[in-house]
Chains A and B, each alone.
Chain A
Amino acid sequence: MSKEQAIKVENLNKSFGKGDSFVDVIKDASFVINKGELVALVAPSGAGKTTLLMMLGCVDEPNSGKMWLGDEKVYENKWLTKETRKIRREKIGFIFQAHYLIPFLNVIDNLTLLPQANGVSDKAAKSKARELLKYFDISDKEKAMPSQLSGGQNQRVAIARALANNPEIILADEPTAALDTQRSIDVVKTLKRMALEQNVAVVMVTHDDRMLQYCDRIMKIENKTIVFQSES
């Protein structure tokens, strides 16, 4: 397994509110997640999973600390670039609870939208998209609209979309929440395979303990700090 660093966090803090309404959400979080790893993020509701995910995704700004995505330091007590959206576009892939494909774009356009926004040519973006569709065994659906696909097919397209911009990190927010057990297992196995074969770090928020056995590591938020439960 590659030990190339995908995410590195040092003393990251996040709080909300002021005065009486002040709430610490994440305190002194420090961890490293490497490429090729599937890491589960587990915590009770309201413990700060989404906040952490949004900070790793350069959407929510932490209050202090340091953060690297790949080799690039992106945060040191402030964003080191104004273009956090560009960081997301180039380094991160997102997978959501539902597939959330753009309903008015067909499968291949859903996959090529972000790469094209990154300046990749239409031809190159389509070539990569076709590769991914083949990888996920849905090559025959490239012209289909999301509404014409089954739930499982849509979720596979959504995972393929997350990889279309060659990200270093994939942030998955409860990708199995809307699926039955067997399909959930399939998706998590796919994510694990993808992490290894595509050499990306996958951080997956989940409430489903049955999925944890397929993850390389389990990251918990306990008393506002990050704790790794075990290493498989």
Chain B
Amino acid sequence: MIHLAKEDIRHTLGKFVVTGMGVGMLLGIVLIMMGVYRGMIADAEVLLNDLNVDLWVVQEDTLGPFAEASRIHEDLKYTVKGFQEIDKSEALTFQNLQLPLQLQDKKMAVFAIGYDVYGKINPINQNRLIDGRALQNDHYEIVVTDKTGYKVGDKIELGRNFFTVVGVTSGSVASGGDPLVYVSLKDAQELQFTYANKRVQTDRARGLLNKDAHLVNAVVATIKAGYDVDEVARDLRKWQHKSVYTRAQQKVVLTRNVVEKSSKQIGLFTVILIGVATIIIALIIYTMTLEKMKEISIMKLMGLPNGVIVRMIVEETLILGVLAFVFGNIFAGLIYDKFPKNVLLNAADSSLLFVVVVIASILASFIGVKKVVNADPTAAIGG
């Protein structure tokens, strides 16, 4: 049997391909949206995975540094270390900084982690270090990510001091998608907790002597082998009056509290875009069917079964959908790395979109099929 859909497409190949490309760009955006969501989830876990700690001790009744402000004393790390189940514990600071960009009168938002350079827990994943080294000195050294554009040896002015770039990492991002930079705990505390000279003078005039800079945002710890992390967390909560989260709980905080709304927003955009793509495919197929109404009437008048004509419409819709899907993947593949934040394309999302496109195409073809079924064969008679 002659493949009507194939012959019709061949007849208007250029128009069909351009249409497929247009719808494909829309599907490409859908893939990008899904990739942005995947990227957010992956970004949210980068720091968590790089630190690879079992427990997060933060200010009481707060969700921790990724979700809300948390201030605790640095020396809490010693108290935590005093627990027999604890293997290592260190204090960390987390803060947003505006990093001045080289040769530009602009600043880049980064997320800075302060850690004890001589401590036993290092947040810098050695696998991410693409140039230079980790911090080795207590002061004025900084490790940046490649997205900042800085290279080893560059100087960056932060607060009252100049920092030397000693290492460059790749793929280090905070849960919000901002690039990560690493400074020593002492420098971080100075940047975060030391007031400017004018503020100090004003506070003194008011009789305030707020000089305590030995604050941190979290204490992280690993536990010794053989202990149950949940039990240790429960003990710490009981005795130290702090909020304590296990790694799994912190992951939930990050994915649920930090990126949940964004992911819902992206999900809604994705659904709307798929809806729009379906409507566009339906309209295209409807128009293509309208253009063939005379031929369809003739085919019906000659006695061609509805099934043959309906198959042509459904196949054309499916081929358009699949073509758009292929173009969508190509388009997404070409542009995904141009986005400022991490976009992760994966085969599972692509497969899911393929299924959705096939279903949407079948739904979209109904409007053309209805037109075929209702076509009047007598319309072929007369002028």
A173 touches B382 (CB 8 A): yes
Question: Once the chains are docked, how many angstroms separate the CA of A59 from the CA of B304?
Answer: 13
How many whole Å from A107's CB to the nearest CB in chain B?
13
Question: Once the chains are docked, how many angstroms separate the CA of A85 from the CA of B300?
Answer: 8
A residues in contact with B302, CB < 8 Å: 88-89, 94, 114
B154 beta carbon closer than 8 Å to chain A: no
How many whole Å from A143's CB to the nearest CB in chain B?
13
A90 beta carbon closer than 8 Å to chain B: yes
- Residue in B12, B295, B304 whose beta carbon sits within 8 Å of that of A114 in the complex: B304
- Residue in B4, B303, B308 whose beta carbon sits within 8 Å of that of A92 in the complex: B303
B191 beta carbon closer than 8 Å to chain A: no
Interface residues of A (CB under 8 A from B): 50, 53-54, 57, 59-60, 85-90, 92, 94, 96-97, 100, 102-105, 109, 112-114, 116-117, 122, 145, 173
A96 touches B12 (CB 8 A): no
B367 beta carbon closer than 8 Å to chain A: no
Question: Once the chains are docked, how many angstroms separate the CA of A104 from the CA of B2?
Answer: 11
A residues in contact with B378, CB < 8 Å: 50, 54, 59-60
In the complex where A89-B303, A112-B2, A114-B303 touch, is A173 in contact with B381 (Cβ < 8 A)? Answer: yes
How many whole Å from A208's CB to the nearest CB in chain B?
15
- Residue in B7, B303, B305 whose beta carbon sits within 8 Å of that of A104 in the complex: B7
B382 touches A59 (CB 8 A): no
Question: Once the chains are docked, how many angstroms separate the CA of A57 from the CA of B300?
Answer: 12
B305 touches A117 (CB 8 A): yes
B97 beta carbon closer than 8 Å to chain A: no
Q: List 21 A-B contacts (CB under 8 A).
A: A50-B382, A59-B378, A60-B378, A88-B301, A88-B303, A89-B302, A89-B304, A94-B298, A94-B301, A94-B380, A97-B383, A100-B295, A100-B380, A102-B299, A104-B4, A105-B4, A105-B7, A113-B2, A114-B304, A145-B11, A173-B382
How many whole Å from A70's CB to the nearest CB in chain B?
15
Question: Once the chains are docked, how many angstroms separate the CA of A85 from the CA of B7?
Answer: 24
Q: Which of B301, B378, B380, B383 has the most CB of A within 10 A?
A: B301
B381 touches A53 (CB 8 A): yes
B residues in contact with A97, CB < 8 Å: 382-383
Known: A94-B298, A102-B295. 16 other contacts (CB 8 A): A50-B382, A59-B378, A85-B300, A85-B303, A85-B305, A88-B303, A89-B302, A89-B304, A90-B303, A96-B381, A100-B380, A104-B10, A104-B12, A105-B7, A114-B302, A116-B1
